[in-house]
Amino acid sequence: MALETLESPSETTKSEAATVVRTVRRRVRRRHLLVLVAIGALWLGLFAARVLLGDFTVTIPDFFRILFGADIPVATFEVMESKLPRAVMATLAGLAFGASGAVFQSMLRNPLASPDVIGVTMGSSAAAVVAMTVFGMDGLPLALVAILGGLAVACAVLFLSGSKGAATYRMILVGIGLAAALQSVIQWVFTTTDVYKAQDAMVWLTGSLNSVTWSEILRVTVTVAILLPVVAAMSPRLQMLELGDDAAQGLGVRATQTRALLMGAVVLMIAITTSVVGPISFVALLAGPIARRLNGGRPSIPIAALVGACIVVAADYVGAYLFGASNLPVGVVTGIAGAPFLLWLLIASRRTIKDG
Amino acid sequence: MTQAPVSEPRTAPAAGRGRSARLGSPASIVGVGLAAILGAAVLSLMIGAHFVSLPDAFTHLFGSDDGSQAYAVIDSRVDRTLVAVLVGAAVAIAGVVMQGITRNPLADPGILGVNSGAALAVILGIYWFDVTTMAAYVWLALLGAAVAAVVVYAVASLGPRGPQPVTMALAGAALTAGATSITAGIMVSSSETLEVFRFWQVGSVSGRDMGAVAGVLPLFAIGFVLCLIMGGILNALALGDDLARALGQRVMVGRAVGALGAVILCASATAVAGPIAFVGLVVPHVVQLLVGPDYRRILLGSLLGGPVLMILADTLGRVVTPPAEVSVGIMTAVIGAPVLIFLVRRMGVR
């Protein structure tokens, strides 16, 4: 209807055109809000299921009593030491990975670009594993090393692919190469430690929420609470960058500066999250395209972040309870589910990737 | 995307290099190659946690077991050097054929996910059926490698603009990630499987028993024959499918034979030594720089060059982090990644 009106300008006065634009905009905004609320509700449901259900069921009144300090035998321990921290950390990690995936995909204009494909998460993991097993580091220093590792790989990929902002595929290939080398460094560490340490490292390497502590959660909460709004606030400028650097410059966006700022914020967010939960594979890759589809083909960082949160919470639940006795790390679940999705994305991107 | 350099990997960059003819004749390739293997093998016998001098090495190599420590050291080093020769040759030749039939300069059993498919099949065998023999590893690895190769090629063919280097690499990366996740899931839930698998997984030639390897030699032989007869077909394919057909080549049959040979070699090598990354990528490119664009020469050169890289990487791995040893699969990955990045930059991928 809107398009028909636009196509006959002779019968359309200026004010009518303005009304049409306003209507379309309002509809886009309403859809965005609607999707945001729906996906938020889905997350809340998953979160509640993760905390209350499973092999140990907690009633809702009991949960709130525990939250406000009541000490119910077994239940308090289950909720405060296992279920709640895992659900909270899963949410935070999902928000961070989902948002960063959306930013990468918009910025590089490629649905396949994501921090794990480009090797940033692998950089954090490799640095952390070496620091942990070779130098015996833990806590905050370990986190700092992981952050530096992620930043270093991000810089290396940008530098080695001769970044002019357009060499997306080169970045992906350079990232795959670096990730392969880093992976083998991790495997080297993995073979030099004893089997118990190896199993610990294994759980951590695949991305796991099994042993998160409240102090780690606080660290990630602060990070996400600061950086996510910053990234979300820059999303209008990011959308202009999608038009190409020249067009964005014309609209008053400083392309290089915006890109550097976004990249810095996103890499920092992923690196800090990875230092706590390890590389939860494919979440960043999956969240962006799903969010775009839900939002009628438009990218949205908040929706991508919430989609990421839903994926991680759900995957953690599946890994913890749906495979019998074995408690699978969340990264294993997302990896198994994500690989077919990436393959499908490669086939489906026939329409979205036109040339180079 | 710059199409030309990607689709003509061999002829374009090397055609103008007159000096490459220096190493061009088959006799000189064989001579230089054998000399290099021999040199590397001698280093491999001498160097390690326990240094053995050259005269001692030869004395023990051809002498009988005198119960000395040096003899035991040489004995184990002979075995791993022979395994390195076999595996290096297999992976390098597989790399040449994969790059040729897909016309993709980035093709490598590691990058295309063939190794991880083989590895996944092996760990499933260890986990479900308590498989421990080399012969069983080989058949499992073969199955896994074949499935992975078909999946990656099919996905890349269905993608934008057919099987491009980038889509193939990405499909391989996706497959590797998925397979790694399943592998990790199994290792987390079963520490016995973890103990067996974690050393196999990184790609190593140490402690491999030649007796067990001997059982799979026939499979290697079939793979080598299938790949080495590909020279003429690969030369024709490098000119494009239409021209190859005009030259009387049966393009699809040639591709199928090559793929079969390459998969057999990858799987056998993976079963014996675990996944070895980047040798299949690096060796063909280096050899091509030395001998020129003719695939028959590249095959011959890689057959001899692969073992050299493997032996040297294995030897280097023994001394870089004393007293621990770095597995050869890790050394080749660390050496190979910069080469991949160099190739990507030279190809002008955008």
How close B121 gets to chain A, by Cα (Å)?
Answer: 15
Domain residue extents for chain B: 68-343
pLDDT of residue A324: 66
Q: How far is CA B70 from CA B40, B311, B323, B327, in A?
A: 19, 20, 18, 22
Give the pLDDT of residue A311.
93
Q: Which of residues 104-163 of A touch B (CB under 8 A)?
A: 112, 116-117, 160-162
Q: Which of A112, A182, A9 has the alpha carbon at shortest distance from A342?
A: A112
State the Cα–Cα distance between residues A302 and A282, nearest whole angstrom.
Answer: 18
What are B311's two structure tokens?
């032996």
Tell me the ipTM for this assembly: 0.70
Average pLDDT, chain B: 80
Residue A108 with chain B: CB contacts under 8 Å: none
Output the DSSP codes for A82-150.
IIHHHHHHHHHHHHHHHHHHHHHHHHTT-TT--HHHHTHHHHHHHHHHHHHHTS---HHHHHHHHHHHH
Average of per-residue pLDDT across A335-344: 84
Which has the higher per-residue pLDDT, A73 or B308?
B308
Q: Do A169 and B330 touch (CB under 8 A)?
A: no
Domain ranges of chain A: 42-349
Average pLDDT over residues A25-37: 85
Distance in Å, alpha carbon of A172 to nearest chain B alpha carbon: 8
Q: Which of A179, A192, A195 sits opposite B324 (nearest CB)?
A: A192
Task: Provide the b/e sequence for B213-247 (b: ≥16 CB within 10 Å).
Answer: beebeebbeebbebbbebbebbbbbbeeeeebeee
Listing DSSP states for A298-319 in one string gives: ---HHHHHHHHHHHHHHHHHHH
Q: Which CATH number fits domain B68-343: 1.10.3470.10, 1.20.1370.10, 3.40.30.10, 1.20.1630.10?
A: 1.10.3470.10
pLDDT in tens, B148-175: 988 888 888 886 666 777 778 778 888 8
Q: How many residue contacts between A and B have a Cβ separation below 8 Å?
A: 173
Residues near B15 by beta carbon (within 8 Å), at least 6 away in sequence:
B293
Quote the minimal CA–CA distance from B59 to chain A in Å: 33
Mutate to test the interface with A, among B158, B192, B349 (most CBs of A within 10 A): B349
Q: Residues 221..260 of A with a Cβ closer than 8 Å to B: which?
A: none
Q: Annotate A30-93 with three-state secondary structure.
A: HHHHHHHHHHHHHHHHHHHHHHHCCCCCCCHHHHHHHHCCCCCCCHHHHHHHHHHHHHHHHHHH
Based on its alpha-carbon atoms, the radius of gyration of chain A, rounded to whole angstroms, reads 22
What pLDDT, in 10s, does the model give residues A36-57? 899 999 999 999 888 888 777 8
Confidence check: pLDDT of B222 > 90: yes
Non-local CB neighbours of A155 within 8 Å, separated by 6+ positions: none
Contact check, Cβ <8 Å, B337/A178: yes
Instruction: Encode pLDDT of B172-204 as tens digits.
Output: 888 888 888 888 788 777 777 777 676 666 666
Structure tokens at B103: 């016309």
Level-2 CATH architecture, domain A42-349? Orthogonal Bundle (1.10)
Interface contact flag, A338 B324, Cβ < 8 Å:
no
Res A233: pLDDT? 86
For residue A169, the chain B residues in CB contact (below 8 A) are: 1, 166, 349-350
Look at B12 and A84; give whichever has higher pLDDT: A84
Closest-approach residue (CA) in chain B for A199: B188
Structure pTM?
0.77
